[in-house]
Structure 1
Amino acid sequence: MTDSTPLTSLSSALADMVSRTAPSVVAVHSHRSRATGFVWKPGLIVTADEALADEGDVEIGLPDGSTAAATIAGRDHTTDIALLRADTAIAPVKLATIVPPLGALSVVVATNRDTPSAALAMVSQSGKSWRSLRGGDIDARIELDVRLRSSQQGGLALDASGEAFGMAVLGPRRVLVIPTATIERVAAQLEARGRIARGYLGLGLQPVRLDDGVGAMVMNVDKAGPSAAAGIRQGDVIVAVNDQKLSGVRALSRTLGPASVGAVVDIAARRGGEPVSFKVTIGERPAA
């Protein structure tokens, strides 16, 4: 019998971690797209929104080789989280609210061509919360030094003790992990409402350069929106919000997260070169 070595012990530990987690991981089939998902709660599967087709049927490939129909319970483009409903008896995975340190080992358990797969990674970045390019609040910045196929995104990222700390997704030129805290927060809202509430001013804005900074010209106004109710008109130029000079249209849009709905903001603008001000109660962005 061959004596155990540190390398064989590590190999056995990794294989054991994967075997314990793989039964909760499924393949996700949508129109011309293959991805991975995991059972978050009984009958509810979390997957990567980016890898989910915008139309057509969704099917789940189960660990035993069978398939099951699934429906989209909700999706959030800004955090790359989608929630599916499927009639399965698969046990949910337990997510841990941990952020592994820089340099820690990680294993991504996913599917590839409808079969379980695993990839060994290192945590190449571990930092504070950040905001995605689409305006989603992500609770921790976690990057993995690993290469994944598109069908593997949506897989579970495990730490060295086998704890699942998030979902692996493909970012621009890197693999990112959407951490447990973000998944729990967003998936819970998708389960309850089918969507994530976003702030809404009811304005179409165009950036303009001013002598003393940057402004946002109002190109169109939703007549039923909160800005119209406050008196903002087409042609007005917004220069500040809550006494903070405007730094750009994109920066303004990023402030309209879920927590902004219902807040009252002071908007300073110019109309025909003259200063005007408005109090706007931020609404909820229509589902359409």
Structure 2
Amino acid sequence: MPDMSALSSLSSALAAAVAAAAPSLVSVHSHRSRATGFVWKPGLVVTADETLAEEGEIVLAFADGTSRPVTIAGRDHTTDIALLRFQGKDVAAASLAGGVPPLGALAILVAADQGKPAAALAMVSQSAGAWRSLRGGDIDARIELDTRLRHSAEGGLVLDAAGHAIGMAVRGPRRTLVIPAATIERVASKLETHGRIARGYLGAGLQPVRLDDGLGAMIMSLDKSGPAAAAGLRQGDVITALNKEPFRGMRAMMRELGPDSVGAVVEVAALRAGEPVQFALTIGERPA
């Protein structure tokens, strides 16, 4: 009979890791939506922003069968992180670790379904450096898992083989993505303090237009008290470059207007009635 001691030890270790993480997990119920969250700090729960309904009550369901209403402390759609506040300090907070697992490492997804813990085993199918989401959020590491994520498990904790909570599971285009612990700590801390993440603001409504030598962004509307107007730009001007980087589309421009852009002075190249003009524009903070 083959020696199964190694497999038995692995099984016991996985079960112990799940049992240790489970008390920090809750089910997040919003309008026609079921997801998972975890207690980040006493009275505060982190979950996946995209799982929350835009309106209606949000309730947390706990393993003991109780439920509690929450308020939204803040949310950031660019990193898919939302912070919820509930009454009570009696639920254990998860301890997040800052490590990034290597390619091929085992990972454990721990979630909550109707308040009850659920788990799945996965492998790290991609492990790479920092990246920027399509919505312009800065993510500290690119971690993918070779498993599909149920809707009710989105927002759950991802553990490494040592049982350390390395991040939050969210749905990616093809596989499960992990929002790493470093990103959660950075964003959730700002949401706790400010309720939002600052984003850059030009104060102009733009429309991409095709030019003879590339693309431009025509100013269709202007906030008269916004940064673009203060810099001297006018409705009808066509922006062709920022800091000598040619305009490459609205998505690329929005990615440049992240939290670190607020207060920065950029050189704007534009066309006015076909003639080149330049402006120094101080990026503002997007209104709430």
Moved over 6 A (4+): none
User: What is residue 181 of structure 1 aligned with on the other side?
Assistant: 182
Alpha-carbon deviation of 1:121? 0.4
User: What is residue 153 of structure 1 aligned with on the other side?
Assistant: 154
Residue type of the partner of 2:243? N
Distance 1:149 1:250 in 2: 29
Matched, 1:31 2:3: no
Alpha-carbon deviation of 1:30? 0.8
Distance 1:68 1:209 in 2: 53
SS in 2 for 1:21: helix
Native 8 Å contact 2:222 2:235 kept in 1: yes
User: What is residue 129 of structure 2 aligned with on the other side?
Assistant: 128
Alpha-carbon deviation of 1:249? 2.2
Root mean square deviation of aligned Cα: 1.1
User: What is residue 201 of structure 1 aligned with on the other side?
Assistant: 202
User: Normalising by the residue count of structure 2, what TM-score does the alignment of the two structures yield?
Assistant: 0.97
Distance 2:101 2:22 in 1: 21
User: What is residue 19 of structure 2 aligned with on the other side?
Assistant: 19
Aligned residues: 285
Distance 1:4 1:41 in 2: 40
Distance 1:113 1:229 in 2: 52
Alpha-carbon deviation of 1:113? 3.3
User: What is residue 50 of structure 2 aligned with on the other side?
Assistant: 50
Percent same amino acid among aligned pairs?
68
User: What is residue 270 of structure 2 aligned with on the other side?
Assistant: 269
Distance 2:115 2:25 in 1: 11
Which deviations, in whole Å up to 9, do the C-alpha atoms of 1:171-224 show, x marking residues without a partner? 112110000111011000100010000000011111112122211111111112
Alpha-carbon deviation of 1:64? 1.7
Distance 1:250 1:134 in 2: 8
Residue type of the partner of 2:239? I
Residue type of the partner of 2:79? T
Which deviations, in whole Å up to 9, do the C-alpha atoms of 1:46-99 show, x marking residues without a partner? 000011111111111112221111110000011000000012311111100011
Matched, 1:109 2:110: yes
User: What is residue 66 of structure 2 aligned with on the other side?
Assistant: 66
Native 8 Å contact 2:270 2:276 kept in 1: yes
User: What is residue 75 of structure 1 aligned with on the other side?
Assistant: 75
Alpha-carbon deviation of 1:7? 1.1
Distance 1:102 1:166 in 2: 16
Which deviations, in whole Å up to 9, do the C-alpha atoms of 1:219-261 show, x marking residues without a partner? 1111121101111111101111112222222211110000000
Residue type of the partner of 2:24? S
Unaligned runs of 5+ in 2: none
Distance 1:216 1:66 in 2: 53
User: What is residue 86 of structure 2 aligned with on the other side?
Assistant: 86
Residue type of the partner of 1:158? L
Alpha-carbon deviation of 1:147? 2.1
Native 8 Å contact 2:62 2:116 kept in 1: no
Residue type of the partner of 1:284? E
Which deviations, in whole Å up to 9, do the C-alpha atoms of 1:27-59 show, x marking residues without a partner? 111111111000111111000001111111111
1:250-265 equivalences under 5 Å are 250-265=251-266
Which deviations, in whole Å up to 9, do the C-alpha atoms of 1:151-188 show, x marking residues without a partner? 10000000000000000011112110000111011000
Alpha-carbon deviation of 1:4? 5.8
SS in 1 for 2:166: strand
SS in 1 for 2:96: coil
Distance 1:245 1:107 in 2: 44
User: Normalising by the residue count of structure 1, what TM-score does the alignment of the two structures yield?
Assistant: 0.97
Alpha-carbon deviation of 1:146? 1.2
1:209-248 equivalences under 5 Å are 209-248=210-249
Distance 2:279 2:254 in 1: 18
